[in-house]
Amino acid sequence: MERTITPRLIAAKADLSRIDFIEGIIKPGIKSMDYTFNPEDDEYIVNTVQNKCVDLIIIDPWTLVISGDAKNGIKVQRRLENLSNLAKKLNVAIILIAHVSKNSKGSDPVNRVSGNAALTDVARGVYITAKIENEPRDDGSSHILVRAATNLGKVGGGLSYSIESAEISDSRVTVATSKIVWHSELKGAPEDLLYKAENTKKDKISALKKATDFLLEFLSNGTRTYPDILTGC
């Protein structure tokens, strides 16, 4: 934390007095630290949040809140729903950090998220970052942040940004780090923004994606018969 996240927060001019790190929990009678936050630990989170007036909780990676098999869809969904209820109870926002799957360019934005499907099903919003190929753009941006899915508003749009080198120092040491610089607002469908940034050709979009898009548009005005779907009429 001291050599990675903290320098980045300082470079971003964050108020460190308002930020706490919880790396794990030491339980009574157990000497070792538990790095996974189980459902029974939620009371600890409640006490910490209420005592410190917390507004935002970031969990990186998201699997820290899943004990055991993170591929168990029912188990993951229940745990994430518990976290959602916890956020409502405490009036806080909870951000879960996940990676994207390898070789996922050209696929549906939401399906790029690595891990259990329940992760994106339960989330109120899904945001995806991508590196701009042949960087940088005219405004200096090298990455984009795209709103891939949400049930709180419109899908699509986002922001472009760049990751720039930075140095922080005191009287004793200078530390090299990085910071994010935000550039311009983006408009458009999430898949279009990602395809353009990653220089993905339309003919490389999966057949499943094409079929899904066709059916969504074809059935947008109501049910149709099977022969209608086959003929596209």
- pLDDT tens, 9-38? 999 999 998 898 887 777 676 666 667 777
The band of 135, judged by pLDDT with boundaries at 50, 70 and 90, is low
Predicted TM-score (pTM) of the model is 0.76
111/126: higher pLDDT: 126
Strand partners for 164:
179
Q: Are residues 107 and 72 in the same domain?
A: no
Question: Does some domain include residue 119?
Answer: no
Tokens of 156: 């699509």
CB atoms within 10 A of CB 200: 17
Q: Are residues 22 and 77 in the same domain?
A: yes
Percent above pLDDT 70 for the chain:
88
Overall number of domains in the chain: 3
- φ/ψ (deg, to 5) at 190: -60, -40
Q: Are residues 90 and 6 in the same domain?
A: yes
Average pLDDT over residues 142-157: 91
> Tokens 């311009």 sit at which residue?
184
Whether the pLDDT of residue 203 is over 60: the answer is no
Whether the pLDDT of residue 206 is over 70: the answer is no
